[in-house]
Structure 1
């Protein structure tokens, strides 16, 4: 994979680590960074050896959102601004629709575009010291990377309006209560807990995890009636064609650990 200027990429086994790496600027999601994220997520999608992706930030911030100076330029060049928004949209949709499991490791401040990146991921871990919010309105801005649409779906309309209209940052624990964070851990245990999560997922059926991601997405995109129909069709196909479904039951019967397929598309 290619080198990057604004992010760092490392791969170990079936896990890829993407680190936003401009800590002096609180890891802004400016156009160049978004383009790099768009490129790396598409490259990861094409790599059959990768099953799990952890996104985090360097320093004291996950991401403080956009580069305001960069936005001034983009606002004065409407065609460029439209291209930036399209790249941001494409990158986040790539994460949402990817067969890989994306984990947001919110190491510190997470606001605006950082929150929009969080909302596209499958699982979110945060240390107790993390602070999370929308904050666009604090600078007279509006969310343009899906925040106004994904946030109400994640936390409900009243809480979403509260976060968007006040611009407040909430604690990791409050974010968990809202439904923005999967698990809050002690600061000193953060890295260890992320590693433990990936180890836990690695013991599961990769094909099964992808199915869980697909079925979960249906719940947001379809009516309950249609979603239930699609679930029946999907699980029937999975159970009758995928070896992992049978292997899990046989292993349980034989009182042993399942031997699932690893990293196969």
Structure 2
């Protein structure tokens, strides 16, 4: 029998899986156990056809304050044993490359690895009071999950360098103006707003969302002709899908489509 997770909670609401970090006293800093439990929860949600969207959020006053630096400082690993960086790479990879949309519901502080986790998500909703930044330089730590490599692509080189070099936080609203956050809402309305949006996603074709996510992600690393060519290949494959046939049939019959995800 699988043990219940200790560092997070998992809750299904309609067709959305909510993964809530519960290391409140540590500002939801990522320990190795938390990363393992995150990976288990993500893999289970990805494998469950009843789940159409995934939400990551935190408890208390933080979304995630980054890696647990006390654990990092005291870590000792046997040769061949996975370390924290291996777990981060695997877990964040499930968020970035998994077939289902992942929403970050940023309830509070998101710093360093917490910011990198936010950047791994497909969409970002934030509470008005949330503060976001890259704190690696404050502790002499180098980022390893996108702080230096991906943040400049999201908010621009100069803004990224400011956050990286200064270690300062900025408001969620400023991050929305910079392009990282999709929507900022009142603190008390964050969960309700995210759930309402996730409900909209769960009515969409999972096959369409899966292909859109994959092509959009890869478009960042190829030139425009290559991106357009891949989009056309995916369209040709999708034209043979149940979901496209069902969507067009439902349109003609003036009813809500019943998508199956293939």
Cα 1:19/1:160, change in 2 over 3 Å: same
Q: 1:213, CA displacement in angstroms?
A: 0.7
Q: 1:139, CA displacement in angstroms?
A: 1.6
Q: Which runs of 5+ in 2 are unaligned?
A: none
d(CA) in 2 for partners of 1:235, 1:2: 42
Q: Which moved more, 1:44-53 or 1:159-168?
A: 44-53
Residues 89 and 146 in structure 1, CA contact (< 8 A), matched pair in contact too: no
d(CA) in 1 for partners of 2:50, 2:77: 40
Aligned length: 261
Provide the TM-score with structure 1 as the length reference.
Answer: 0.91
Residues 16 and 202 in structure 2, CA contact (< 8 A), matched pair in contact too: no
Q: 1:223, CA displacement in angstroms?
A: 2.1
Q: 1:82, CA displacement in angstroms?
A: 6.8
Counterpart residue number, 1:218: 218
Provide the TM-score with structure 2 as the length reference.
Answer: 0.92
Q: Which runs of 5+ in 1 are unaligned?
A: none
Question: What do the CA deviations read for 1:73-131 (whole angstroms, capped 9, x no partner)?
Answer: 13x76969972111111111111111111111000111111111111111110011111
Taking the TM superposition and a 5 Å limit, the aligned residue runs for 1:90-101 are 90-101=90-101
Which has the larger share of helix? 1
Q: CA RMSD in A?
A: 2.0
- Name the SS of the counterpart of 2:91 in structure 1: helix
Counterpart residue number, 1:251: 250
Question: What do the CA deviations read for 1:134-177 (whole angstroms, capped 9, x no partner)?
Answer: 11111221112232212122222222111111111111111111
Counterpart residue number, 1:36: 37
d(CA) in 2 for partners of 1:110, 1:121: 13
Counterpart residue number, 2:19: 18
